């Protein structure tokens, strides 16, 4: 390599353009490295403030996040120094990462300001690729040899950071807009948008009930009502839809099904899951049932609390949570006698006392003091939904056997994953077994 020594600006420019350095890096003290780092931080503050707007105010509580991103940069520098051969000094590796910082700051600032949200993933993927190529070119320029291991480790670090950020959404902004957003400033506007949706629910439930088909047979018929509580996570709606299908296949309730779904992907296809809507739906379904003979299969899926309570939410809609007393009251008011109630939620076992009677079977995904698992938005079903609705219901002859198989499979899975047992619970009323035998003996 030539002995020509570059200026700091010349070295930065060549590194940014992915060009080979014609000489060694400028000689810099730790003090100079700190100055460059502070300059990058100042650039961050300026661009960050510009993206928030002219009324931005400083947010000191987010300062610790700067340390998080500083740690990422130092980790990459350490990886470059350790994995390069011949070795690159840690000081030179730190300079390489500091030199990269302005590019990352400017690129992310422009992306947040101008790129549509749907394109951000592609923009950040392109930026990650640039970083890997940048590291590979810089490391080769400093050693005259390809440094694939160093670039590969940096790529792995970027993947890990991206995965972490996608889950925890670390936002490094140090500024915020003190002006309230339009929705917060104008609740009447919010209400104007949500009022038609909420006040249409009774009519939509009535329309769904009108489509229920009954049979002239004297044998007991099963009616299915599904309730997916949290619209911000698709796992609950998907679980209830699968439950409706497989219960329909097993008990013939396919054309006697009503779904109440909170799902932000679609507010129109099905009636929404609300406390008032559930009460109205149960009464509407009961009107089509032979109450002393037919059976209600009520499936609920949501987040749960030990109060006991099921979460009910759907974006901007002002909804109240479903308590055990409210659920018990809705079931009682419907007048339906025979009931199979399945609750897929944390602490679901806490609902049993409020719901149990001689004519009811209650199956829950967890004991009163336990949490259940698998309710994240990247899943189609919870652990309980997979074990019960997907695997056990189609393959076992009775509800009791399906639940026992579910308990066994969940216990094995939780032990393998080293998580605390959810301990699913079941209650069978004194007279419900006879009714179960009737509907399970049908061909």
pTM of the model: 0.59
CA-to-CA dists, residue 45 to 30, 50, 106, 223, angstroms: 23, 9, 11, 60
Please name the fold of domain 203-440.
Rossmann fold (3.40.50)
225 neighbors 289 (Cβ within 8 angstroms): no
In the chain, where the domains are located: 8-176, 203-440
pLDDT, residue 187, reads 40
Quick one: pLDDT at residue 179?
A: 53
The confidence score (pLDDT) of residue 193 equals 57
Q: Cα separation of 335 and 347, whole Å?
A: 27
What local confidence, expressed as pLDDT, does residue 166 receive?
62
Collect the ranges in the chain with pLDDT lower than 70: 1-6, 23, 28, 59-62, 117-118, 166-172, 176-195, 442-443
């Amino acid at each position: 390599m030539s002995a020509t020594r570059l200026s700091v600006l010349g070295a930065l420019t060549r590194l940014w353009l992915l060009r080979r350095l014609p000489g060694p890096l400028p000689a810099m003290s730790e003090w100079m490295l700190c100055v460059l780092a502070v300059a990058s931080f100042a650039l961050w503050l300026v661009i960050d403030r510009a993206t928030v707007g002219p009324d931005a105010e400083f947010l000191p509580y987010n300062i610790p996040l700067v340390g998080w991103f500083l740690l990422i940069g130092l980790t990459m520098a350490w990886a470059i120094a350790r994995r390069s051969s011949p070795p690159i000094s840690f000081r030179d590796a730190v300079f390489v990462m500091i030199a990269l910082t302005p590019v990352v700051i400017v690129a992310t600032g422009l992306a947040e300001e101008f790129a549509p949200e749907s394109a951000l993933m592609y923009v950040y993927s392109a930026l990650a690729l640039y970083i890997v190529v940048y590291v590979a070119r810089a490391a080769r320029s400093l050693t005259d040899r390809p440094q694939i291991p160093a670039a590969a480790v940096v790529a792995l670090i970027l993947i890990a950071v991206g995965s972490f950020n996608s889950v925890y959404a670390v936002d490094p902004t140090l500024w915020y807009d003190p002006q309230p957003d339009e929705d917060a400033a104008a609740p009447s506007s919010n209400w104007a948008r949500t009022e038609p949706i909420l006040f249409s629910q009774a009519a939509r439930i009535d329309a769904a009930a009108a489509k229920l088909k009954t049979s002239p047979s004297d044998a007991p018929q099963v009616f299915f009502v599904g309730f997916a509580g949290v619209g911000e996570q698709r796992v609950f709606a998907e679980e209830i839809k699968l439950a409706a299908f497989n219960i329909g296949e097993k008990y013939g309730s396919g054309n006697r099904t009503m779904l109440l779904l909170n799902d932000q992907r679609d507010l129109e296809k099905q009636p929404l899951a609300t406390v008032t809507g559930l009460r109205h739906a149960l009464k509407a379904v009961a009107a089509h049932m032979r109450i002393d003979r037919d059976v209600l299969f009520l499936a609920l899926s949501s987040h749960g609390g030990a109060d006991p309570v099921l979460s009910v939410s759907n974006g901007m809609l002002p909804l109240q949570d479903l308590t055990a007393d409210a659920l018990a009251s809705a079931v009682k008011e419907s007048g339906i006698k025979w009931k199979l109630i399945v609750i897929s939620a944390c602490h679901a076992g806490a609902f049993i006392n409020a719901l149990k009677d001689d004519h009811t079977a209650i199956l829950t995904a967890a004991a009163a003091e336990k949490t259940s698992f698998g309710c994240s938005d990247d899943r189609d079903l919870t652990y309980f939904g997979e074990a019960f609705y997907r695997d056990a219901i189609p393959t076992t002859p009775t509800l009791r056997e399906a639940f026992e198989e579910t308990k066994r499979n969940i216990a094995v899975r939780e032990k393998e994953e080293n998580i605390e047992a959810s301990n699913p619970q079941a209650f069978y009323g004194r007279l419900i077994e006879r009714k179960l035998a009737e509907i399970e003996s049908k061909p």
